[in-house]
Amino acid sequence: MRLKDKVAIITGAASGFGEGIARRFAEEGSRVVIADLNAESGARIAAEIGASAVSIRADVTSADDWKALIQEAVDGFGRLDIVVNNAGYTHVNQPMMDVPESEYDRCYAVNVKALYLSAMAAVPVFRAQGSGQFLNIASTAGVRPRPGLVWYNSSKSAAIGVTRSMAIELAAEGIRVNAINPVAGETPLLTKFMGEDTPEKRAAFRASVPIGRLSTPSDIANAALYLCSDEASMLTGVCLEVDGGRCI
């Protein structure tokens, strides 16, 4: 029960890494707000977790939706301790000059602007409590870029910079800010990362990971659990690669 009595908002929690984090946090005693554009899947996961979970449809690029998320957590569970910015977006793997402006804008809105909006909404609550934390799911793409993903890569570099910058500014107020940099994993974004889902492409991606496999929701959830637990109370500004050696 490493998160006993904690309350966490997890974005993009209707699938992939976010779903894994929501389930793991609930197992460890946290109450969770599952936020996702896919309301049906979010509601199903909340029902499977039980009374310690609620779901809400939310667009992380909307300031109004962030206000509603914070209100849901505070009204429903009495407080807010953790915000996991997991929701992410990528353009299809392709030459940088072929990516439409709308796809570039969406990448930066979901992967970067959402961090700003989460801070605007959650920091006042954390300040009033005297504690709180953000966990941003960035990517190894922000550390060791892959070809064909220029604008996605750069958005994740920005997310890493935001994490470190927020951490140093908020540390004295008891607010921790960390990130996880996962290597490519079995999530709904994988096909776009690869450009096409073929055995050859999957083999090439696996071959780029020294440990020999892609990441799983469980890998990311276990790292998230540690960083958001009191065991990591001395850690802020950490951007932890969960990557099987990819960034070495």
Q: How far apart are CA 197 and CA 190, in angstroms?
A: 8
Q: Which amino acid belongs to residue 17?
A: F
DSSP state of 50: -
Residue 71 CB burial class (10 angstroms; 0-12, 13-18, ≥19): middle
152 counts as catalytic: yes
User: 89, 108, 152, 226: which is the annotated catalytic residue?
Assistant: 152
At residue 123, the 3 state secondary structure works out as: helix
- State the catalytic residues: 152
